[in-house]
Amino acid sequence: MPQARVLVSSRGPLHTEAPHFLQGSAAAVSRERIPVVVVFDHEALARLVASRLATLIRARSAAGRSLVLGLATGSTPIGVYRELIRLHRDEGLSFRHVTTFNLDEYWPMPPDRIHSYHRFMWENFFSQVDIDPANVHLLDGTLPREQIDDACRAYEDAIVAAGGIDFQLLGIGKTGHIGFNEPGSGELSRTRLIHLDHVTRRDAAADFFGEENVPREAITMGIATILAAREIAILATGEHKSKVVLRAVEGEIDRDVAATFLQRHPATTFYVDESAAADLSRIATPWLLDDVAWTDALELRAVTWLASRTGKAILKLTQQDYSDHQLSSLVARHGSPGAVNGLVFNVLGAKIRGKSKLPRGKRVICFSPHPDDDVISMGGILRKFVENENAITVAYMTSGNIAVFDHDVRRYMDFLVRLDQERIGDGTAVRSLAETVHAFLEAKQPGEVDIGEVQVIKRVIRESEAVSGIEVLGLNREHARFLNLPFYQTGKVRKDPIGAPDVAIVANLLRELQPEIVFVAGDLSDPHGTHRMCKEAIDAALLEVYGHGATTNRSAAAPEVWLYRGAWQEWPVTEATVLVPLSQEELTLKIQAIFKHQSQKDSAPFPGQDEREFWQRVEQRNKATSAHLDRLGLAEYFAMEAYVIA
């Protein structure tokens, strides 16, 4: 078992834990005004924070005292709660001496609604541990407006009466909000009703099946309430959080970014995964902070950064350019700017693989988390693999049925009824189904889980679109497998954890098809976590079948794993292993395949923060990748896709 190490931050040692984190020297983290622990992945992060909480709980229990926790909701803290539940179940961690105060709640919001934080906490944590319900404090989203101020003061009084919050768990929003302390929140603010920022409401739109359904107000602990906690842990995972993490950690304190106030707290720690830490100076540009141990990967990043910073092609970088940007040691290592330039130029050039350099005659599985990720992310390489006579199976891992608008269901039902009126079929079943569906949709509340009939219709819509999409690329319905993994079948945006049945389905497909190459979604910024969870299922299945995961060394019979990214981001050219050029005709074909997903066209149910349609993101992203290479001085292509071979 690996020896434990000390977690290092800009303010010194925090505590010990198994080495699932990245460290930096004191100089390398000198710009960080909040201690930051960078953990390899979200699961390790959850274990680390839960371990800290378990230590505090046990210490207080042994002393016969209660521990007071401030708790947050959301996709990042839920991993911590699941680990705490495991510790309770498997290791006897008791919550009998724990008192909790939740951070916030939408208003108005009945406690039994699917979006209620009251319901979230009981379903995902409280009901599965031995906490005394009398020790659970939740903000009330049902109060009349005129009673809210008094209730907020009473909440503050209850925190004081409990002895104050010992440990506050936080997430961070894209505006930098903590709790619902939106831009403009003051450092002296206390628990109160607040109007939600447009960005926050838009970010929550996926959960509510439309921004118009997101409440405009919420009740939240204030900045001063949060800062009064004795210890604070703030969590962030995913590429989409990297910019706000940088702003919160390295930026000036600013009322427009509430998380920056944590810089004044004496015992706050930021726990982030590698993706969320990507923009921190010690990771993005460590050579600007301290001496570095040069590696091939770091040299590649530094030289491409320098070329972009100076606006020059790589082969035109001079000694002066390197000297002006703290990179003289890199030139000294190789002897001359020309040697460095040539090395990096050749490394980037070797990544480019046209059709003739791509695999031929291989057994291939493309794992697509949703029924459109295949064409959105890798429509270009799929077409080239078809032309290279590879045996391709596209495995759609989830139905994607929650991402179908109700009006599409009405349209398809109207189509069936009209067919019935033309006397195609006996009609009885069609009319009965139509009546059931229309009655439900008429009475449906925003975010309400669909009845089984509607879920099936939406699934079939997505499946038919998926087949139509791959047909554009030269495949047909025989090349499509619809796995319909159980974890997704909640009818809600929030899914169940990946379980043994999910892994078994993927493992059985691997055993049946014996692929030589598998494509896996490595885009972990998917706004509702499906990509991350699907990768988790694939990793577990690879481990079961071949004795390895998607990020470890392959055995002789194991498939090569190619990671792609989806609609949200592309691999940087410095991280990519393979860059696949696309002609104008190939990009047009890819976009035509995306168009076949009509339920996601014009206005997708889960667009994230990007107003562009998926095809527009793809076009601009693929063109931007090739344009970046062009600016670096490499060959000019119309468009380009990027992949990482794990």
Q: Judge whether 252 counts as a catalytic residue.
A: no
Q: What pTM was estimated for this model as a whole?
A: 0.81
Domain count, the chain: 3
Interhelix angle for 373-387 vs 614-631, to 10°?
60
Q: Are residues 568 and 518 in the same domain?
A: yes
- Asked, for residue 343, whether it belongs to a domain, the answer is no
- 24-76: per-residue pLDDT in tens? 555 556 689 999 999 988 889 999 999 999 999 999 999 989 999 999 998 88
- Residue-wise pLDDT tens digits, 348-358: 999 999 999 99
Residue written as tokens 């569906």?
437
Rounded CA gap, 177 and 35, in Å? 18
- The kind and range of the H/E element at 617 are helix 614-631
Within a domain: residue 408? Answer: no
The pLDDT of residue 76 is 83
CA distances for 634 relative to 86, 331, 459, 542, angstroms: 52, 21, 44, 36
* pLDDT at res. 10: 35
Residues 76 and 143 in one domain: yes
Structural domain includes residue 364: yes
Identify the CA nearest to 601 among candidates 405, 457, 431.
405
Residues 161 and 224 in one domain: yes
Whether 299 and 272 share a structural domain:
no
**Is 336 within the bounds of a domain?**
no
Please give the Cα distance from 332 to 340 (Å, whole number).
10
CATH number at residue 543: 3.40.50.10320
List Cα–Cα distances, 203 to 76, 235, 315, 550, in angstroms: 15, 17, 42, 30
Inside any domain, residue 533: yes
Cβ contacts of 419 within 8 Å, gap of 6 or more: 425, 430
Give the pair of three-digit tokens for residue 46.
Answer: 């959850």
Asked if residue 394 and residue 322 are part of one domain, the reply reads no
308 shares a domain with 199: no
Is residue 377 a part of any domain in this protein?
yes
Radius of gyration of the chain (CA): 26
Judge if 141 and 190 occupy the same domain.
yes
Same domain, 94 and 225: yes
- The pLDDT assigned to 6 comes to 31
pLDDT for the residue 98 = 98
Q: Which of 333, 336, 78 is closest to 207 using CA atoms?
A: 78
Q: Is there a domain that residue 424 lies in? A: no
CATH number, residue 83:
3.40.50.1360
The pLDDT averaged over each successive group of 10 residues in the chain (646 residues) is 32 36 55 93 91 96 94 90 97 97 96 91 96 97 97 98 97 92 94 92 77 92 98 92 95 96 97 93 93 94 97 98 96 96 98 97 96 95 98 94 84 80 63 88 85 88 93 96 91 78 97 97 67 92 84 69 86 96 97 92 62 87 96 96 95
Res 395: pLDDT: 98
Q: What is the DSSP string of 198-259?
A: HHHHHHTHHHHTSGGGS-SEEEE--HHHHHTSSEEEEEE-SGGGHHHHHHHHHSPPBTTBGG
Answer yes or no: is 447 within a domain.
Answer: no
State the DSSP code for 313: -
> Are 274 and 306 within one domain?
no
**How many helices (H) does the chain have, and how many strands (E)?**
21, 20
Q: What angle do CA 389, 479, 405 make, to 5 degrees?
A: 135
Residue 609 confidence (pLDDT): 57
Question: Is residue 178 domain-shared with residue 303, that is, in the same domain?
Answer: no
Range of the domain at 595: 359-403+460-645
Residues 369 and 270 occupy one common structural domain: no
C-alpha 516: how far from chain center: 28
What is the C-alpha separation between 531 and 553, in angstroms, rounded? 22
Omega cis (within 30) before 215: no
Domain identity same for 272 and 311? no
Q: Which of 17, 32, 156, 182 is catalytic?
A: 182
Cα–Cα distance measured from residue 337 to residue 328, given in angstroms and rounded to the nearest whole number: 9
